Amino acid sequence: MRILVTGCSGFLGGEIVRQLLSRGDDVVGLSRRETPELVRAGMQHHRGDLTDAAYVQRTITEVDAVIHTAAVAGVWGEWRYFFDNNVVATRNVLAACQNSGVTKCVYTSSPSVTFAGGHQSGIDESAPYPDRWLCHYPHTKAIAEQEVIAADTAGGLRTLSLRPHLIWGNGDPHLVPRLLERARSGKLRIIGDGQNRIDTVHVHNAALAHLCAVDTLDATPESAAGRSYFIAQDEPVLCWPWIARLCETYGEPPPSRHISYRSAYAIGAGCEAVYKTLRRKSEPPMTRFVAAQLAKDHYFDITAAKQRLGYEPRVSMEEGLAELAVTDLARNAF
């Protein structure tokens, strides 16, 4: 197929492109940043802004499918910034698909679209969207996800949404570096009792899920379209021992000091209030969302993705962690 990937310069988007190219698909990438490595590998690249409807319409043409991974993530920032980049951009992508006769669109969402601050212990896709939001990112992703699902049309554009959780792996520029920086600076605290269980997903598996989704929409759309799917390793782990192992892999001190969830949440609320009053754009040292994510269960039942999309993780937790350790040793050797 000829497949267009938005956000191709990102961690997940780049891995999706590499997997598509490796199996022989013709790939077009859209992003704001240059991607020379992927262009050399065979991807056609268009640089631009997805909030520009005219640009999106010009670019999304003569393709069989779109994988829309581009988004703005984070726990702090202006509503308009998140809304434009997560909702308006998605509307532009959907409109361009519909106008150009594209028949398949896979949207990259997040499990946080169902997170209101409480435990999520083995939940499936029947979990509702919350009535309140702890930050703008999950709120805007939920709005976009609902519009993607609503756009699914039998005989026309078929859509679905994937919710990969805590993507990590070799080359991760987000999750692992953020944890390591906090550990290195002594700012990382175990929040709550340290027994909360979480899901993660290796970047190879997260990308594979997107290929499974495209292929299913192409072959048997009636079995999978118009739905959302949790995507994970299918190996829930205790959050803080897992973080400790990551720290040890990179030679950083694992967290040992504790703070209660109630205290961390209160500190987060206070920081948010101060930063909002002072109109500070930098991220507060703690927020309510971060406190809840680090103290509560969030692991998921991925039966639907397995049964409807044929998704099965290929890189196990142990294999992924071993890869990180080997990569770190190689880096230190030079």
Exposed e or buried b per residue across 24-43, where buried means at least 16 C-beta atoms within 10 angstroms of its C-beta:
ebebbbbbeeebeebeeeeb
Catalytic residue chosen out of the listed positions 137, 229, 265, 311 = 137
Structure tokens at 321: 């962690």
Q: What pairing do the DSSP bridges indicate for beta strands 237-238 and 197-198?
A: antiparallel
**Residues 137 and 87 sit within 8 Å (Cβ to Cβ):** no
DSSP 210-255: HHHHHHHHHH-GGGTTT-EEEE--S--EEHHHHHHHHHHHTT-PPP
**Residues 90 and 268 sit within 8 Å (Cβ to Cβ):** no
Nearest residue to 308 (alpha-carbon basis) of 150, 165, 145, 125: 125
Q: Is 137 considered catalytic here? A: yes
157 phi and psi, to 5 degrees?
Answer: -75, 120
Catalytic residues: 137
